[in-house]
Chain A
Amino acid sequence: MSTDASSRPAAVSDRTRPLADRIPVLSHLRRSVGLQRAMLVIGVVIVAVFVLVAAFAPLIAPYSWAQQSANGVDFATQQPPSAAHIWGTTVSGFDVFSRVIWGAQTALFAILAAIVFSLFIGVALGLLSGYFGGWLDRVLLVICDAIYAFPSLLLAIVMSIVISRGQSTLVGGILAAAISITVVFVPQYFRVVRAEVVRVKAEPFVDSARVIGVPLGRILVRHVLRNSTRTLPVVVTLNASEALLTLAGLGFLGFGIEATKAAEWGYDLNRSVADVTSGIWWTSIFPGLAIVLVVLGITLVGESLNDLSDPRLRTRRRAGGAA
C-alpha cells in the first residue's frame, strides 16, 4: 500500500516510517505514477545537472567569465559560434559558453542564500506568531499582507538600492537579489507555517506535552514545527525559481552584477538587447535558455510536489492501488 499524504499520522508515528518516506522529494517520487512521475523525474534531473554544472564550472568552462583574450590574442567581438567559441562571443569579446557556465554558480549562490534567509525568518516568525497569537500575530499579519500585495520586482529594486546603492559586486549583487527575495518570500512562509501552527497547536498531543512539563522550546520545535512543515517543499521551490528570476530581472534592468565581478545571465541578456535588433542571436539565446531550463526544472519539481500533496489533483494508481 502506498502511504496516503492526506491522512496525516500523528507526531509520534512519523519516526517509525521508513526514511525514504520522510524526505520530501523522495517520498513524493515513490508515491507518484505516470505523467506526474515523469514531470518530477525530469525536474529533479534538470536541477541535478544545474547543481553539477555550478559545482564544476571551473572544469567545464574553457575560459574565465571576464576573459577577453587567450595566449595574447584578443577574442574577436560578436563572433557567431565557432570551434574556438562554441556559443560565440559577446559585444565585449567574452566567450558566451564560459559565461553561461559560470553564471550557474552565481545563480546557485543567489538561490541558496535566498532560500536559507527566507526559510529561517519566515518559519520562525510563522511559528511564534501562530503559537502565541495576540497583538504580535495581528501586526505581523497586516505587514505580511501589505508586502505580499506589492510587486516583487519593485521591492527587489528598492532593496538592491539599499544594499548596494546599485553598485554591483559579486557578493553585493547576490546578497541584494537574495535579500530582496527574502523580503518577498518571508510573508509566504509566514502564512503557510502560521496556518499549520494554529491548527497543530490545538491538537491533544501539544496539550499533553504542555501538561507533563515539556519545555516551551521543545514543544515549539518538536511538537509543533515538525508537524507544520507539510507545505514547505512547494514554497521552497517557488522561492528558488523566484530568486533566480529576480536576480535575472535585476540584472536585466542594469542592477545586477558587473561583468568583471561574476557572470550573471540577466546582465548578459541586458547587453544583448541591442544585438537582437541586428540579428545576433547567440548572445541572448544561450543565457536566456539557461534561465528557462533552471526555472523549468525547479518548477516541475514544485508542481509535482504540489499535485501529489493535493488529493484532488493526485493521479490515482490504476487497478485498485491506493484508496
Chain B
Amino acid sequence: MVTAAVDPAALAPAVSKGGGLWRYILVRLLLVIPTVFILVTVVFVLMRLTGDPITAALGGRLPPDQLQQRIHEAGYDRPLWAQYLDYLGGILRGDFGTTITDRRPVLDVLLQYGSATLELAFYALIVAFLIGIPFGLVAAYKRDRWPDATLRVGAILGYATPIFFVGLLLKLVFSVWLGVLPTNGRASTRTELLLGNLDHPSGIYLIDAIRLGNGAAVGDVLLHAILPGVALGILTAGVFLRLVRTNVIGTLGAQYVTSARSRGVSEFRLVTKHAYRPALIPIITVIGLQIAMLLSGAVLTETTFEWKGVGFMLSEYLKARDFVAVQGIVVMIAVVVALTNFVVDVIAALIDPRVRY
C-alpha cells in the first residue's frame, strides 16, 4: 500500500478521482524530513558550539595529552562541517553515536530501554483517557455549574503540579504512609529474575509477564505501574478534559443535537454519542502533540520512580555529563515524535476528510 503511494503513476489516478488522501499522506511524509533535519541540525550546532563532549565528560579527570588523544580518536578536532556530515551520515545508517562513559552505541541504549518508556507512556495514556474523557463530558454537560467548576479547577491543578511533585506525593501517601504500593522500579527483584529467564523478552514487562503465565508476576508488574502511570497520566488527563469540554460545548449547541433532543434521544446518548463523536477529531490531533509532552514527562516520571527507561537513562547520562549520549537520545526522541505526529495526522485525515486539504 505504502509503495503504491510513492509510485507517481499509481498516485496520479487516485488524485484525479478526488481521493486526496494518498497525496496528503505523501506531502505530510515529505514534511517529516525537513522537521527531523532541522532538529538534528539545531541540536548538533548547539551542542558543539561550546566545546567537544570528551572534554565535558572527562576534562580534569584525564591528563591533557590523553584527553587530546581521545579527542583526536573520536574526530572532534576536525572541522565542524566534516563532523556534521559524518553525524548526518551516521544517523541515516541508524548510528546515533557511541556514549563516552560506557562506550555503547546510543541505538543499543534506546533499544534496551525504549520498551520501558513505551510501556509507561501506554499506561499514562490509559489513565488519561479513563479520567479525561468521561469527566470532560460531565464538565461540558454541567457547564458553568459546580461539577464543571470542580473538574476544571482539578484539571488546572493537574497541569499546575509538576509531574515529579505528583510522583513524590503519590509515593509519600501510597508507598510510605499507607504502604500499599511499591516506591519505585518496574517490578520486584523476584519478578525481574523470573522475566530474565524468558527467551526473546519484549522488554515490555506486562507482555513478558503474561507470556510467562505467572499470575503473581503480572500482578507485581501492574502494581509497580500504578503510581508512575497515574503521575504521568494526570497531566495529559487534564489536557484531554479541557479539550473534550470545549469541543463538546461547541457540538452540544449545534442544531443537529437540538433536533436529536426533540426526537426524544436520551440526554446520556446525546452527550456520549451525538455531541462526543465529532468532538473526537480535535482530540486525536492533540494526542499527537501530547506525545511530545508525554515524552518530556516520561523523563521526569522515570527519574522520580527509578523506572529504567530512556528518560531515566537520559538523566543518568546528564549527571555523568556524557553529552554524546544526551544528544543521541534527544535526536532519537525527535525522530520518534516526528514520526508519531505523522501517523496521528494520517489517522486524523482518515477520520475527517476535511483535513486532507
Known: A142-B34, A284-B165. A162 touches B304 (CB 8 A): no
Query: Which of A154, A266, A276, A281 has the most chain B CB atoms inside 10 A of its CB?
Result: A154
Assess whether A72 is interfacial by the CB under 8 Å rule. Answer: no
Assess whether A303 is interfacial by the CB under 8 Å rule. Answer: yes
| A149 adjacent to B326 (CB under 8 Å) | no
Assess whether B355 is interfacial by the CB under 8 Å rule. Answer: no
| B296 adjacent to A153 (CB under 8 Å) | yes
Shortest distance between the CB of B105 and any CB in chain A (Å): 20
The contact of A296 among B43, B157, B175, B296, by CB within 8 Å, is B157
Could you say which interface size class chain B belongs to?
35 or more
Interface flags for A245-259 (1: CB within 8 Å of B; 0: not) read: 100110011110000
| B169 adjacent to A288 (CB under 8 Å) | yes
Closest to B50 in A: A162
| B295 adjacent to A276 (CB under 8 Å) | no
Closest to A154 in B: B330
Closest to B159 in A: A299
Interface flags for B166-189 (1: CB within 8 Å of A; 0: not) read: 001101100111000001000000
* B246 proximity list for chain A (CB < 8 A): 312-313
| B172 adjacent to A299 (CB under 8 Å) | no
Assess whether A207 is interfacial by the CB under 8 Å rule. Answer: no
Shortest distance between the CB of A81 and any CB in chain B (Å): 15
| B330 adjacent to A277 (CB under 8 Å) | no
Assess whether A108 is interfacial by the CB under 8 Å rule. Answer: no
Please report the C-alpha to C-alpha distance between residue A151 and residue B334 in the assembled complex, in whole angstroms. Answer: 8
Assess whether B2 is interfacial by the CB under 8 Å rule. Answer: no
Query: Which of A146, A281, A284, A303 has the most chain B CB atoms inside 10 A of its CB?
Result: A146
Interface set, chain B 309-357, CB cutoff 8 A to A: 314-315, 318-319, 321, 323, 326-327, 330, 333-334, 337-338, 341
The contact of A281 among B172, B175, B304, by CB within 8 Å, is B172
Assess whether B6 is interfacial by the CB under 8 Å rule. Answer: no
Known: A161-B47, A165-B56. A151 touches B296 (CB 8 A): yes
Known: A145-B35, A253-B300. A161 touches B326 (CB 8 A): yes
Q: How many residues of A contact B (CB 8 A)?
A: 52
| A291 adjacent to B292 (CB under 8 Å) | no
Shortest distance between the CB of A292 and any CB in chain B (Å): 5
Assess whether B26 is interfacial by the CB under 8 Å rule. Answer: no
Known: A158-B330, A292-B165, A303-B156. A284 touches B300 (CB 8 A): no
Interface set, chain A 286-323, CB cutoff 8 A to B: 288, 291-293, 295-296, 299-300, 303, 312-313, 315
| A165 adjacent to B51 (CB under 8 Å) | yes
A interface: dominant SS = helix
Closest to B161 in A: A292
| B46 adjacent to A159 (CB under 8 Å) | yes
Interface flags for A126-167 (1: CB within 8 Å of B; 0: not) read: 000000000000000011011101111110011101100110
* A39 proximity list for chain B (CB < 8 A): 153
Please report the C-alpha to C-alpha distance between residue A140 and residue B86 in the assembled complex, in whole angstroms. Answer: 26
* B159 proximity list for chain A (CB < 8 A): 241, 295, 299
Assess whether A18 is interfacial by the CB under 8 Å rule. Answer: no
Please report the C-alpha to C-alpha distance between residue A263 and residue B9 in the assembled complex, in whole angstroms. Answer: 64
| A312 adjacent to B299 (CB under 8 Å) | no
Known: A253-B300, A315-B144. A291 touches B249 (CB 8 A): no
* B177 proximity list for chain A (CB < 8 A): 279
Query: Which of B156, B168, B183, B304 has the most chain A CB atoms inside 10 A of its CB?
Result: B168
Interface set, chain A 212-271, CB cutoff 8 A to B: 241, 245, 248-249, 252-255, 266, 269
Shortest distance between the CB of B164 and any CB in chain A (Å): 5
Please report the C-alpha to C-alpha distance between residue A303 and residue B160 in the assembled complex, in whole angstroms. Answer: 12
| A291 adjacent to B38 (CB under 8 Å) | no
Assess whether A79 is interfacial by the CB under 8 Å rule. Answer: no
Closest to A164 in B: B50
Assess whether A34 is interfacial by the CB under 8 Å rule. Answer: yes
| A272 adjacent to B168 (CB under 8 Å) | yes
Assess whether A202 is interfacial by the CB under 8 Å rule. Answer: no
| B176 adjacent to A279 (CB under 8 Å) | yes
Closest to A38 in B: B149
The contact of B300 among A153, A161, A299, by CB within 8 Å, is A153
Assess whether B194 is interfacial by the CB under 8 Å rule. Answer: no
Closest to B250 in A: A312
Closest to A272 in B: B168
Assess whether A35 is interfacial by the CB under 8 Å rule. Answer: yes
The contact of A35 among B43, B149, B293, by CB within 8 Å, is B149
Shortest distance between the CB of A184 and any CB in chain B (Å): 10
Assess whether B162 is interfacial by the CB under 8 Å rule. Answer: yes
Shortest distance between the CB of B240 and any CB in chain A (Å): 16
| A269 adjacent to B165 (CB under 8 Å) | yes
Shortest distance between the CB of A298 and any CB in chain B (Å): 8
| A277 adjacent to B176 (CB under 8 Å) | yes
Interface set, chain B 194-222, CB cutoff 8 A to A: none
Assess whether B303 is interfacial by the CB under 8 Å rule. Answer: yes
Closest to B176 in A: A279
The contact of A149 among B35, B56, B253, B323, by CB within 8 Å, is B35
Assess whether A11 is interfacial by the CB under 8 Å rule. Answer: no
Shortest distance between the CB of B251 and any CB in chain A (Å): 11
| A151 adjacent to B165 (CB under 8 Å) | no
Known: A142-B38, A252-B162. A273 touches B299 (CB 8 A): no
| A154 adjacent to B333 (CB under 8 Å) | yes
| A157 adjacent to B144 (CB under 8 Å) | no
| B296 adjacent to A154 (CB under 8 Å) | yes
Shortest distance between the CB of B305 and any CB in chain A (Å): 10
| B171 adjacent to A151 (CB under 8 Å) | no
A-B contact pairs, 6 of them (CB 8 A): A147-B38, A149-B292, A253-B315, A277-B183, A296-B157, A300-B156
Q: Which residues of A contact B (CB under 8 A)?
A: 34-35, 39, 142-143, 145-147, 149-154, 157-159, 161-162, 165-166, 241, 245, 248-249, 252-255, 266, 269, 272-273, 276-279, 281, 284-285, 288, 291-293, 295-296, 299-300, 303, 312-313, 315
